[in-house]
């Protein structure tokens, strides 16, 4: 039986136990930050040469400026090589992701107020975006779709992809996903060096306005350090799932519990229930499923190090616990999820009921699976169209508008000691036309 931590919310020290459970080492220490800083500086200075040195060192193949490039023709060839079933699944996912994200499109707006000013907002897309697609322990074509499709919906002109290729092997499904989602060009590089190339540009890889997509701790550290040179979506940590259950098939629930654990040893799965007997049954099925998983070692390390089964007094208490966790994925596997939903304040994606496992959202439901992790759902949101657009304020005024509110602005400028600011207003206030 898997050695999964058991907690009881009625215990006097439950809060301390929960905080200890949530304090995963998901960030990067000073040693990694320093190593990444050196890589960034080297790629910024030496460009393609440094990029290929690190690619050869970390991915184990002879990279050159020419052979790192993945062209649309390469993507098309991969699209034609994958199976009919692969193409059908990718097309369905792309269509559904596009349909969902089209609802996020923002539009320009304006209004004229009583002072006579017309005020508004203009929405414009980013010019160039770089997609980081994870590679290594697994290939993630779904991440290509989840990053590229909303960028297209937002109107981004240039979308490029970087993807690590251990031993020089490029996954056909990743390339096929890039083809169907409209990625214009890709590069067979990954890690902190790829983030550096996207941020600073090289002779081969263009500098972009924003880098999106999850990666390992080196990628996370690199994204943190290049922020300001370009934008980033978020600092993604290991994946996580929380579940509130009051009923259901323990075999299903056990599988759902493992759905994130198989990603990474540092991933976290937490199940909260008001039924101790159900917790026992789920624990049994977790072990049964673990014995059949190809990634058993990874999943077992995750659940035994970071997983937990929590007994709560009520669903309301379970919701309070979830709001502390602020999970990336939240399954409300309860009889009446709509009654519980208003109690949830912090979660990246919420799956309602017994027939929507987290995996449905990972691939074809439509909402984005790039989600805030490590309790950042308290203040951030899933990736979406809005991450690929900018908002500009638009301000119009007539002579009458300045006359109506300019004196107050000039007064505030003087109070701040900014005489030229005030002068720009006072000169206009003297203008009688």
Backbone torsion region of residue 361, taken as left when φ is above 0, otherwise alpha when ψ lies between -120 and 50, otherwise beta:
alpha
Give the DSSP per-residue string, 361-429.
Answer: HHHTSSS------TTGGGT-----GGGGEEEEEEEE--HHHHHHHHHHHHHHHHHTT-HHHHHHHHHHH
Beta bridge partners of 111: 119
Cβ atoms of 303 and 257 closer than 8 Å: yes
Edge-to-edge strand order for the sheet containing 109-112? 109-112, 118-125, 389-396
Strand, helix or coil for residue 169: coil
Report which of 314, 301, 233 is spatially closest to residue 273, judged by C-alpha positions: 314
Nearest to 131 by CA among 78, 185, 88, 167: 185
Give the residue among 149, 139, 212 at the shortest CA–CA distance from 171.
Answer: 139
- Measuring CA to CA, which residue among 216, 283, 297, 206 is closest to residue 251? 283
- Please tell me which residue in 240, 262, 328, 331 is annotated as part of the active site: 328
328 vs 284: CA distance, rounded Å: 25
Instruction: Produce one character per residue of 12-34: b if its CB has 16 or more CB atoms within 10 Å, e if not.
Output: eebeebbeebbebebebeeebbe
Residue 280's alpha-carbon distances to 48, 250, 276, 310, 311, in angstroms, are 55, 9, 6, 11, 11
Catalytic pick from 152, 329, 354, 369?
329
Is there a contact between 238 and 267 (Cβ–Cβ < 8 Å)? yes
CA 389 – CA 212 distance, rounded (Å): 13
Which residues lie below 8 Å from residue 122, measured CB to CB, with a gap of 6+? 108, 391, 392, 393, 394
Active site residue 265: no
Listing from the earlier edge strand, what are the strands of the sheet with 349-352? 5-8, 308-311, 268-273, 240-245, 329-333, 349-352
In angstroms, rounded to a whole number, what is the distance separating the alpha carbons of residues 424 and 346?
A: 46
Residue 328 appears among annotated catalytic residues: yes
Q: What is the CA 164 to chain-centroid distance, rounded?
A: 18
Helix-helix angle 72-81:172-181, to 10 degrees: 120
- Catalytic residue numbers? 328-329
């Amino acid at each position: 039986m898997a050695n999964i931590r058991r907690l009881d919310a009625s215990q006097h020290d439950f809060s301390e136990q929960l905080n200890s459970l949530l304090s995963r080492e998901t960030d990067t220490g000073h040693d990694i930050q320093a190593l990444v800083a050196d890589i960034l500086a080297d790629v910024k200075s030496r460009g393609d040469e440094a990029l290929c040195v690190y690619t050869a060192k970390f991915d184990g193949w002879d990279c050159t400026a020419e052979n790192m490039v993945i062209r649309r023709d390469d993507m098309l060839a991969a699209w034609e090589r994958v199976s009919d079933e692969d193409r059908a699944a990718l097309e369905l996912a792309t269509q559904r992701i596009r349909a969902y994200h089209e609802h996020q499109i923002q539009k320009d707006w304006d209004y004229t107020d009583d002072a006579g000013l017309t005020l508004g907002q203009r929405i414009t897309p980013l010019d160039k975006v770089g997609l980081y697609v994870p590679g290594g322990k697994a290939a993630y074509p779904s991440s290509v779709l989840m990053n590229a499709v909303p960028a297209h919906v937002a109107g981004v002109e240039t979308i490029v992809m970087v993807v690590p290729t251990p031993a020089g092997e490029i996954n056909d499904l990743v390339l096929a996903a890039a083809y169907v989602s409209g990625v214009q060009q890709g590069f067979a590089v990954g890690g902190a060096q790829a983030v550096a190339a996207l941020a600073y540009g090289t002779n081969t890889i263009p500098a972009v306005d924003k880098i999106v997509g999850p990666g390992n701790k080196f990628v996370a550290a690199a994204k943190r350090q290049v922020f300001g040179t370009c934008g980033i979506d978020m600092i993604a940590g290991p994946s996580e799932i929380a579940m509130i259950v009051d009923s259901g098939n323990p075999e299903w629930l056990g599988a759902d519990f493992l759905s994130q654990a198989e990603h990474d040893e540092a991933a976290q799965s937490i199940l909260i229930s008001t039924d101790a007997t159900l917790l026992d049954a789920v624990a049994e099925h977790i072990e049964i499923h673990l014995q059949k998983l190809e990634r058993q070692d990874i999943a077992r390390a995750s659940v035994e190090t970071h997983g937990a089964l929590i007994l709560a007094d009520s669903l309301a208490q379970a919701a309070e616990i979830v709001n502390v966790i602020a999970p990336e994925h939240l399954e409300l596997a309860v009889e009446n999820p709509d009654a519980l939903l208003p109690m949830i304040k912090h979660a990246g994606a919420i799956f309602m009921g017994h027939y929507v496992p987290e995996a449905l959202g990972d691939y074809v439901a439509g909402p984005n699976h790039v989600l805030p992790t490590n309790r950042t759902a308290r203040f951030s949101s899933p990736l979406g169209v809005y991450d690929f657009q900018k908002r500009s304020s638009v301000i119009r005024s007539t002579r009458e508008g300045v006359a109506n509110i300019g004196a107050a602005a000039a007064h505030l400028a003087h109070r701040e000691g900014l005489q030229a600011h005030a002068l720009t207003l006072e000169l206009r206030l003297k203008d009688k036309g």
